[in-house]
């Protein structure tokens, strides 16, 4: 997939900054595992663009696949 020409929501442009910030603050790396599973944050349940969950993956894969739930988790962690 070419991230330059692929269609993505504008919110996806902020994901790399969330991941980079978390990596600069905490002992996480691109290979750190994170879970893309149905998750509730208070009354809010974010969804992925395809409505599916991919389970356990690395931060690198979550960013590459533009998964919303891991991005919210890493943002709240940072």
The string of pLDDT tens digits covering residues 20-60 is 999 899 899 999 999 999 999 899 998 998 999 999 999 99
CA angle 63/8/66 to nearest 5° reads 15
SS3 at position 57: strand
pLDDT bracket for residue 14 (50, 70, 90): confident
Residue 4 has pLDDT above 70, yes or no: no
Helix H or strand E segment including 60? helix 59-64
Residue 9 has pLDDT above 90, yes or no: no
How many C-beta atoms lie closer than 10 Å to residue 70's C-beta? 28
Q: What is the pLDDT of residue 10?
A: 65
pTM: 0.80
Q: What is the pLDDT of residue 12?
A: 78
């Amino acid at each position: 997939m070419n991230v330059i020409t692929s269609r993505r929501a504008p919110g996806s442009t902020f994901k790399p900054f969330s991941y980079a910030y978390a990596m600069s603050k905490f002992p996480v790396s691109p290979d750190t595992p994170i879970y893309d599973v149905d998750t509730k944050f208070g009354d809010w349940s974010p969804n992925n663009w395809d409505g599916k969950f991919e389970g356990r993956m690395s931060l690198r894969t979550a960013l590459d696949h533009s998964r919303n739930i891991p991005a919210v988790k890493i943002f709240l962690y940072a």
